[in-house]
Copies of this chain bind each other. A is one copy, B any other.
Amino acid sequence: MLDFSSDYLEGAHPSIIERLAATNLEKTAGYGLDEYSEDARAKIREACAAPNAEVQFLIGGTQTNATVIDTLLPSYQGVIAANNGHISVHEAGAIELGGHKVLQLPHHLGKIDPDELREYCENFFHDGNRNHMVMPGMVYLSQPTEYGTLYSLTELEQIKAVCQKYNLLLYADGARLAYALASNENDVTLPDLARLCDAFYIGGTKCGALFGEAVVIPDPTLIPHFFTIIKQHGALLAKGRLLGIQFDTLFTDGLYRHIGESAVAGADRMRAAFRASGYELAFDSPTNQVLVNLTNEEYDRLSEHVIASFWERPDAEHVIVRLACSWATTEADITALEELLASMPASEKR
C-alpha cells in the first residue's frame, strides 16, 4: 500500500535526528538561551535579510498563530482571514480563546483577494456603527495556502498596500513554507516576506523537523517581552535547544530548501502521472500537495492501492483527494505510483 496521506507521517529528516543524538549529552542553558538557538536565529536572520529581526521558536502552528495574534491585537480588534484558513476552521477556536474574532473573507483556491480585502475595509470604516463592531487589525494569510496555492509577489504587495492604508498588521502562516519557496511558480522569497510582513513563521513541523516553528518579527521592537508572553501561553520549551538544533540544521547547507525542492519535484511527477493517465487535477496546486478530482469508481479502484486523504465531495459522483509529498517520500514510492496510474488510467466517462 502506498501512503501519501500527509506530509508529516514520519519523524524528522535524518540529519536532524543525527544532530539531536550527537548533542544529546551536552549541557546547555534552557528556554532557547543556548548557542544552538542563537546560531539558528542568526542563520534565519541572514536567510531573511532581516539583520535585526527577533526570531523565536515555538512548538506548533496553532500555538504560534494563537500566541502571535493574541499578542499583536488589542482586545477590540480582529484578524481578517480566508474563510477556509487554518485559524478560521481548524484550530479549535484558539484565536477566539485569546479573545479575538476571525473576520472571514471568501477564499479563492485558499487565497484572499486584495480587492475584496480593500472593499471589506472600506465598508467597515464607512459603517456608521463601526464603533460597535470588531475592528480589523490584522490580515492573516498562509503561504502556501491550505489548498497548496501561492500568493504571488504582486498579490502580497497589493495586500500590503491595503494593510498600510487601513493600518493593519500583516501576518503570514508558513506552516508549509518550504514547499512555497521551492515551487517553480513561486516568486516570493524569505526577504520578501520579511519586508512585507509584520510577523510570519517558518514552518518546521510539516517541513522536516520533529516539531517547531520559527517566528520572525522583522522589527524587533514590535513585541516587547515576547519571551514572557511565550512562557505565559505555555509555548516555551524547557529544553529550547531542541528547537535551535533543528532549525540550525534546517538552515545549514540549504537543507530547508532541499526538503522543499525534493517534495515539490515528487509532487510534480505525481501531477504529471495523473495527467498522463487521463485523470483530472482538482486545480493547479504548484507545491507539495496534489489534489485530484476522481469519479467514485476511480476513487474505489485507487483506494485499493494508495492511501490519500479525503478532501471534499464536489458532487455525488466525485471525490477530491489529496496526496502529499515530503522529504520522506521515496523515489520508489513515486515510481510505484506512476506505474500504478499507467496501468489504471482514468475512466472514459466523467
Query: Interface on A for B, CB 8 Å cutoff?
Result: 3, 6, 8-12, 14, 17, 20-21, 23-28, 30, 59-64, 66-67, 70-71, 74-76, 78, 89-94, 96-102, 128-129, 131-135, 205-206, 210-211, 224-225, 227-229, 231-239, 242, 310, 328
Contact = CB atoms under 8 A, between A and B. Distances in A.
Given A10-B26, A24-B11, A25-B328, A75 B93 contact: yes
A3 B8 CA distance: 38
Nearest to A29: B9
Given A131-B227, A238-B211, A30 B8 contact: yes
Contact of A234 (B27, B28, B62): B62
A211 B228 contact: no
**Closest 3 A/B residue pairs (Cβ):** A63-B234, A11-B24, A9-B27
Contact of A75 (B23, B97, B100, B132): B97
Number of copies: 4
A119 to B, nearest CB: 14
Given A12-B24, A92-B231, 18 more contacts: A8-B30, A8-B239, A9-B30, A11-B24, A11-B26, A11-B239, A17-B21, A76-B93, A76-B232, A78-B93, A90-B133, A92-B134, A93-B134, A96-B99, A96-B134, A205-B239, A210-B239, A234-B234
